[in-house]
Amino acid sequence: MPNLTRLRAELPNIGWALVLVAAMTAVMLIVNQYVQPTNRSSIYLIPVLAAAARWGVIPAVAAAVASILASVFFFYEPVYSFKVPQTPQLVNLALFIVIALVTGRLTAVLREQADRARRRENEVRDLYAFSRRLGLARADEDIYAAIQEHLSSLIQRRSVLFESDSASPVDTGRPEERLVPEAVHSEVTKHLEGEATSDTGTIVKDNSNNVWLVRHVAPNTKEFGVIAIDLGDAASRELADVRGRVDGVMADAAATLDRMDVARVIDEARMRAETEVLREALIGSVSHELRTPLASILGSATVLCNAAPVTGDERLAALANVIRDEAERLNSDIQNLLDATRISSQSVKPLRQWYDLADLVNSALVRRDWRLADHVVAMDVANDLPLIYVDPVLMEQALVQIIDNAAKYSPAGSKILVTARREGNEIVLAVTDQGTGFTEEEREHLGERFFRGARHLSNTPGSGLGLWIAKAFVNACDGQVSATSRGAHRGATVSIHLPVADEAILQLERAADD
Amino acid sequence: MTSDSPVVLVVDDEIQIRRFLRAGFELDGFTVEEAENGNNAIRKATLSPPDLIIVDLGLPDMDGSEIVQRLRAWSGVPLIVLSVRSNEAEKVRLLQAGADDYVVKPFGMAELLARAHAALRRRVTTSAGEPIIKSGRLTIDFGARLVTIDGERVPLTPKEYRLLQVLAQHAGNVVTHQHLLKEVWGTPHVDDVHYLRIVVRKLRQKIEADATKPQILLTELGIGYRLATGAPETAGAAKQAADS
């Protein structure tokens, strides 16, 4: 009964067309009091044309018939009666209907063309956005999230995508949309495990009488995952239509995904992720395994260093000190490895607190006193600096790295100066040494992971991680690291720049002292 | 070992760690008891209460905070935990659960001994209600509410004095930010760490020779503050003081 359905859908529009005619009649009746237009019935062309343009043929025909009836009733003798329609009115009626049909048809064609153009434009825009997201996606979850969004904008119904290697829905950051009924979930699992009976999908009914379609996104490429689409009320007459449309859309989408080589992109992302996880796990466990014996070595060495039989013999004391210092060095290398792992797995999450910069400097200097023993360390921290809002552990570690570098690349007995002062809206913490410095070319690479100046490779041990870690940690606290040198063997200054939060500080000072 | 030497119970599952701790403590005049897991530690501590307990947090049979809580349930024995780095929140939790101090692994023996002496002394201070605490040039006379530097009176605001008082009660051991804030400003302000920073800075300007290089009021990054105590004494002296 498609025609009846269509007619029912037109009812509101027909109603509006009749309202238009009624309004026109009312206007004419008022105008009639003052002037007598000669060809009154032609004025009814206005509602007929308007209805045709706005709502199409059927409401326009309804408007035409209503117009003729109204004009016969109100404006032709005998007034207020439908009696004796004369030839002119019949001609008018025929004319109106022809106009209604022609205009309505023209409008329909035009509207259809406009609709198609708009849809096409949307599709192109969607596809463009989709391919951009694919290009940017690094992990497979990102790719699935992109597919999910692409499909739901195409299907225009609620749909939930499941990754091919897990039975949990793709995370799009909106968890409430990810819930599917139990029956649907078990059907999805069947599809993922390859136990599903049909390639073109299975229909599942949930408790609230809604019908879901569960199917592979693409029957030939299982990597795209399984999608569950809410088709709507089971009793709906349109169900078959919707199912047909969804199948069509999915076929197109699958072809698009194939053409864009999405399967390979997913594969590569998974491989990358697995390699990354493996590497991080390896570094993590190696560092842990190294640390346990190191704690015993360092502890034992410190006992030896202070034991009377050893302190009484200069040669033994020197040996015990070597063990202690080298264990310290190993410990800080392991700490660097762990920090590097944290940075590359992006698990650095600053816990920020108000801090006094001098505390950070002192703490870093104390932690590195074994390394600074051969240097002259001077500290000049202005005592009216505002508090800074940073993660103290990250900032201390960053500073330790910079101090380490200063000690490592400057000769024993030389001076290391640590200064902190305010410069405009910044607090600048600078570590200056009298060491090997760096050339302009080396400066460009400073702070790159694993970068070490060629001059130092053979004579100074190091991993090239220090400044990279310092930069990452300072950046995590909204700061910047900069480095200057007047050239090779003319010393270097490495600075940490932190923003000042002035207003906040002044308020705090008042509140603390009540 | 004389009967005067204080007894330390070392709890760690790594035999190498126990070995050097034994040597380090014995050389310093302690008597050392060992336990390799939490249950053993609690049993030993119950049967013959030690003067000090050093406990590692990575025990096979018991979580670090559990052992601290179970010991604290019946004993006020000084307790120092050995923790791994990079977990500030865990350290704070343990200190709040009742640990007196912590040392980060790997550590040097001198550092642990300093903490141990401070923890032992705290017991002396609290039990004897010692009215005078010294830290370098600084003297705090609780009875007279008097703070002096090299014998010269230092005028302090009530908040500054209260802060110094709380730190002095734990002299040599770390006191968490939360504890200080609660004691000085009250419970509603336990998260206002900036109050603490500002008053500490003012206090340092009054009691330190150079406020940017503090020698008395020391910072424990991410944890709290520590009032430095003078040169470490021997364990025997501390024990004698405790027994007298």
Beta-bridge partner residues of A230? A212
Residues B39-81: tens digit of each pLDDT: 999 999 999 999 999 999 888 888 878 888 888 888 889 999 9
Here the CATH number for the domain that contains residue B97 is: 3.40.50.2300
Interface test with A, best of B194, B204, B208 (most A CBs within 10 A): B194
What confidence category does residue A150 fall into, taking pLDDT thresholds of 50, 70 and 90? confident
How far is the alpha carbon of B113 from chain A, nearest alpha carbon, in Å? Answer: 11
Say yes or no: B12 and B117 in one domain: yes
Is residue B241 situated within a structural domain?
Answer: no
- Residue of chain A whose alpha carbon sits nearest to that of B111: A302
Mark which of B127, B159, B182 sits at the end of a domain: B127
In this structure, are residues A376 and A414 in contact, taking their beta carbons and an 8 Å threshold? yes
The CA distance from B17 to the nearest CA of chain A, in Å, is 5
Quick: pLDDT tens for A262-300.
777 777 777 877 877 787 777 777 777 888 889 999 999
| Distance in angstroms (rounded) separating the CA atoms of residues B34 and B56 | 12
From the list A299, A379, A393, the residue facing B221 with the nearest CB is A393
Whole-number pLDDT of residue B52: 94
How many domains are there within chain B? Answer: 2
Compute the average pLDDT of residues A248-263. Answer: 76
B31 pLDDT tier (thresholds 50, 70, 90): very high
Cα-Cα-Cα-Cα dihedral sign, residues A294, B58, A340, A290: positive
Angstrom distance (rounded) from CA A115 to CA A109: 10
Q: Do A393 and B17 touch (CB under 8 A)?
A: no
Tell me, yes or no, whether B188 and B99 share the same domain. no
pLDDT attached to residue A403: 93
CB-CB under 8 Å, B197 with A356: yes
Whether B47 and B121 map to the same domain: the answer is: yes
Residue A512 confidence (pLDDT): 65
pLDDT for B20: 94
pLDDT the model gives residue B233:
45
| B163-212 residue pLDDT tens | 998 998 888 889 999 999 999 998 888 888 888 988 998 899 899 988 88
User: At residue A415, does pLDDT exceed 90?
Assistant: yes
| Choice between B122 and A356, residue whose per-residue pLDDT is larger | A356
**A169: cis peptide before it, omega within 30°?**
no
Share of chain B above pLDDT 70, in %: 89
Question: Per the domain annotation, does B150 fall within a domain?
Answer: yes
Q: What share of residues in chain A are helix, strand, coil (percent, to 5)?
A: 60, 15, 25
Third-level CATH fold of A353-511? Heat Shock Protein 90 (3.30.565)
pLDDT exceeds 80 at position A197: no
The model's confidence at residue B37, banded by pLDDT at 50, 70 and 90, is very high
Residue A504 has pLDDT above 70, yes or no: no
Residue B132 within any structural domain of the chain: no
Give the HSE-up count for residue A49: Cα atoms under 13 Å, Cβ half-sphere. Answer: 5
B240 confidence band (pLDDT: 50, 70, 90): very low
Class of the CATH-defined domain A267-344: mainly alpha
Q: Which residues of B touch A381 (CB under 8 A)?
A: 212
B104 in the same domain as B15 = yes
Indicate if the pLDDT at residue B93 is higher than 80: yes
Q: What are phi and psi of A112, to 5 degrees?
A: -60, -40
Smallest CA-to-CA distance from B195 within A393, A514, A165 is with A514
pLDDT digits (tens, 9 = 90+) for A155-166: 777 788 887 776
* Complex ipTM: 0.81
Res. A221 pLDDT band, cuts 50 70 90: confident
Same domain, B159 and B211: yes
Average pLDDT over residues A338-363: 84
What count of Cα atoms within 13 Å lies in the side-chain half-sphere of residue A456?
Answer: 21
Say yes or no: B100 and B68 in one domain: yes
Supply φ then ψ for residue A331, to 5 degrees.
Answer: -60, -40
| Contacts B110 to A, Cβ<8 Å | 302, 306
Option in A298, A338, A363 nearest B221 (CB): A363
The domain limits of chain A are 2-116, 139-260, 267-344, 353-511
Cβ–Cβ under 8 Å, residues A324 and A305: yes
Note whether A396 contacts B: Cβ–Cβ < 8 A.
yes
How many residues are listed for chain B in this entry? 244
Domain of residue B223: give its range: 137-227
Query: Across the interface, do B17 and A295 touch by the CB < 8 Å criterion?
Result: yes
CATH of the domain at B188: 1.10.10.10
pLDDT at A441: 78
How many angstroms separate the CA atoms of A249 and A237, rounded? Answer: 20
Pairing of strands B132-135, B138-141: antiparallel
A contacts of B18 (beta carbons < 8 Å): none
Contact B20 A299 (CB under 8 A): yes
- Res. A110: pLDDT tops 90: no
Mean pLDDT value of segment A59-70: 83
The answer to whether residue A324 neighbours chain B at the CB level (below 8 Å) is: yes
Residues 263-322 of A with CB under 8 A from B: 291-300, 302-303, 306-308
> Which structure tokens are listed for A214?
């569960």
Whether residue B236 lies inside any domain: the answer is: no
- Partnered with residue A494 across adjacent β-strands are A431, A483
- My answer on whether B142 and B114 are in the same domain is no
What is A139-260's CATH number? Answer: 3.30.450.190
pLDDT in tens, B110-145: 999 999 998 888 766 554 556 788 888 888 888 888
A494 CB-near residues (< 8 Å, 6+ apart) = A402, A405, A406, A430, A431, A467, A470, A481, A482, A483
CA–CA distance, A238 with A243 (Å, rounded to integer): 9
Which residue does chain A place closest to B18, by CA atoms? Answer: A296
Q: CB-based contact (8 Å) between A36 and chain B?
A: no
A512 touching B (Cβ < 8 Å):
yes
Contact of A427 with chain B, judged by CB distance below 8 Å, is answered with no
3-class secondary structure per residue, B63-113: CHHHHHHHHHCCCCCCEEEEEECCCHHHHHHHHHHCCCEEEEECCCHHHHH
Residue A496 above 90 pLDDT? Answer: yes
| Same domain assignment for residues B97 and B168 | no
What whole-number distance in Å separates Cα of residue B122 and Cα of residue B47? 23
Residue A286: CB partners within 8 Å, gap ≥ 6? A337
Q: How far apart are CA B242 and CA A229, in angstroms?
A: 76
**DSSP annotation of A487:** S
Domain identity same for B111 and B22: yes
The Cα of A184 is separated from the nearest Cα of chain B by a number of Å equal to: 42
CA dist., res. B196 & res. B218, Å (int): 13
Tell me: do B147 and B59 sit in the same domain: no
Chain B nearest CA to A364, separation (Å): 10
pTM for this entry = 0.61
Contacts of B108 in chain A (CB under 8 A): 298-299, 302, 324
CA gap B55, A334 in Å, rounded? 24
Which amino acid is present at B128?
A
The CA distance from B192 to B176, in Å, is 13
Distance CA A7, CA A451 (A): 76
Residue of chain B nearest A304, judged by CA positions: B24
Q: Over 50: is that where the pLDDT of A389 sits?
A: yes
A335, A381, A387: residue with CB nearest B194: A387
3-state helix, strand, coil in chain B (%, to 5): 45, 20, 35
Tell me the chain A residues in contact with residue B205 when contact means C-beta distances shorter than 8 Å. 383
What is the rounded distance in angstroms from the CA atom of residue A118 to the CA atom of residue A112? Answer: 10
In this structure, are residues A14 and A59 in contact, taking their beta carbons and an 8 Å threshold? Answer: yes
Q: Is residue B238 part of a domain?
A: no
- Token pair of A50, please? 């308007």
Of A367, A376, A439, the C-alpha closest to A402 is A367
Taking CB atoms and an 8 Å limit, are B222 and A291 in contact across chains? no
Average pLDDT rounded to a whole number, residues A449-458:
71
Instruction: Determine contact: A249 vs chain B, CB below 8 A.
Output: no
Residues of A with Cβ-Cβ distance to B21 under 8 angstroms: 299
> Which residues fall within 8 angstroms of residue B90, CB to CB, at 6 or more apart?
B57, B64, B65, B83
Cα distances from A315 to residues A311, A312, A319, in angstroms, run 9, 9, 6
pLDDT band at B244 (very low <50, low <70, confident <90, very high): very low
The pLDDT of residue A64 is above 90: no
**Residue at B93 is within a domain:** yes
